[in-house]
Structures are given as structure tokens and as C-alpha cells.
Structure 1
């Protein structure tokens, strides 16, 4: 397993992975259709090393994307292939992504978390600071989390 920067040519693959991962939680077709635009990765989204992918034997198993500008940004996307959930890929990606964020000058990240993913993020050290409106589903609120990043000594 390796973690590396995402490539513009992988945008469609990352979008498909994000949709499969979101669908893992049993959301219906209407919900998934409403989320499609928000979960679409564009080739330019991989610029600047802000998208990281976990890859094993040439297969993409997960990815993350940072957004914003230092000192405080956001973990804009984090998805793991449904068949690979529970293998530590999320933890691996989170550790690599937060380390990358520190190198880029970020001091903290916010996370608009799917309610099903909130326990993972709190286990990784994020704290719930409120709620934020869904970008896809009118009237739906998502847990808003924040993690302060450790600075190298």
C-alpha cells in the first residue's frame, strides 16, 4: 500500500470511488443523485499535491483532498473503497493528509462530516464544533468538526 498525490487523469476514477463510498451507507438513489455534483472530482482538483490517493497493486482504494489556504483549511473530501473499509486505509490517508497539511502551513482543518463518518474523525482527534448545512441536500445538516494539527518540534 502506498500513498501518493492524485493525478488529473484519475478525476473520473476518484469521482466514481467517492460515489461508491458514499453509497456504502445505504443512501437512496435520489440522495445519491443530489450529491453527485458535490462529489465530482475535476482534473484541476488534483493540482498542488492537495489530493492524496491510497493505492495497492495499481488499484485506488481511497483518497483525500485538502482545500482552503493556510493557516486554516478543510478536509474537503475523504473516501475509501467500500470493500476496503476496515483495513486501516482511512487512518493511513488521514495521517498522510494531516502531515501534508502541516507541511503546507495549515494549523487546523475543518471537516464537514457525513454523520456515519463522525466517529472515525473524532477517533482521529477531531472535535465537533457545530453543524453546517449540506451542500447537496436542502435542510440537512452535517456535523462540523475541527482538528488542530501538531506542529513539528
Structure 2
């Protein structure tokens, strides 16, 4: 198992992982389709951002991506795994790689908008909830979280 920089041609695989991972939390196919634009990873996204794949036996099983922001801050934009790998330590493996990369690059703060079902995962890693916003689904709120490095 290793982490590799994503290539533009990975975009279809990463989109599939994103949609399957999101559906893991019980969202209907109809809801996933409504979110399709937000869950699609494009060639341009990979070319213009930092995207890293988790690879096991030459197969991409998950990935993370981040966006550089002002004030020495990073936004974790995506962290997704194929459903059969959720809850088995692979997410922690991805997060540890991401956090080490951010420390090596001397960033001071990480922010993210968490899937509500993943909030506890991020809290266990050390993120704190600093706010929330309502999503397109009534009474569903996305936690805004941060971690100081």
C-alpha cells in the first residue's frame, strides 16, 4: 500500500470512488445524482490541485486532495475511500500521510467541511468543530472543522 500523486487520467476512477464513498452513508442514488457535479473529479481539478491516491496492489482504493489558501492555511477538499475499505484504518493511513505532508510544507492550520457522518473520524484525528452550514438537504448540516499544526 502506498500513496502516489494522482494523474489526470485517474479522474474517472476518483469520481467513482467519491460517489461510492458518499453513497456508503445511505444517500439515495437520486441524491448522489443531484450532487454529481460536486462529486465529479475532473482532469482540470487534478492538474490544478494537489491530489494523492492510495494504491493497493496497483489499484486506487482512495484519495485525498487539498487546496492552498491564504494565511498559511490548507483546506482538505476531499478524502474518500471505496466503501469496502471504510472503517479498516485506511482513512487514518491517508490522514497521517496528509498531515505529515502539511507539516513538512510548514502549514499552520487545516480546515475542512466534513460529511456529517465522518465528523467523529475527524475529531479522533484531532480536528475541532468551529461551525456548520446547512446543505441542500433540509436539516442536514455540514460541520466546519479545523486543526492547528
TM-score calculated relative to the size of structure 1: 0.88
Q: Match of 2:125?
A: 124
Q: Match of 2:60?
A: 60
Q: Cα distance, 1:33 vs. partner?
A: 1.3
Q: Match of 1:72?
A: 73
Q: Match of 2:15?
A: 15
Q: Cα distance, 1:46 vs. partner?
A: 2.3
Partner of 1:38, secondary structure, is helix
Q: Would you identify which runs of 4 or more consecutive aligned residues in structure 1 move more than 6 Å?
A: none
Partner of 1:76, secondary structure, is strand
Gaps of 5+ in 1: none
Question: Is residue 54–residue 63 contact of structure 1 (8 Å, CA) maintained in 2?
Answer: yes
Structure 1 residues 24 and 46: alpha-carbon distance in aligned structure 2, compared to 1, 3 A threshold: same
Superposition map of 1:2-151 within 5 A: 2-47=2-47, 50-69=50-69, 71-134=72-135, 137=136, 139=138, 140-149=140-149
Distance 2:24 2:118 in 1: 11
Gaps of 5+ in 2: none
Higher-helix-fraction structure: 2
Question: Is residue 49–residue 67 contact of structure 2 (8 Å, CA) maintained in 1?
Answer: no
Structure 1 residues 28 and 48: alpha-carbon distance in aligned structure 2, compared to 1, 3 A threshold: closer
Distance 2:32 2:50 in 1: 25
Distance 2:11 2:37 in 1: 13
Partner of 1:87, secondary structure, is coil
Residues matched between the structures, number: 147
User: RMSD over aligned Cα, in angstroms?
Assistant: 1.7
Distance 2:59 2:103 in 1: 27
Distance 1:36 1:79 in 2: 15
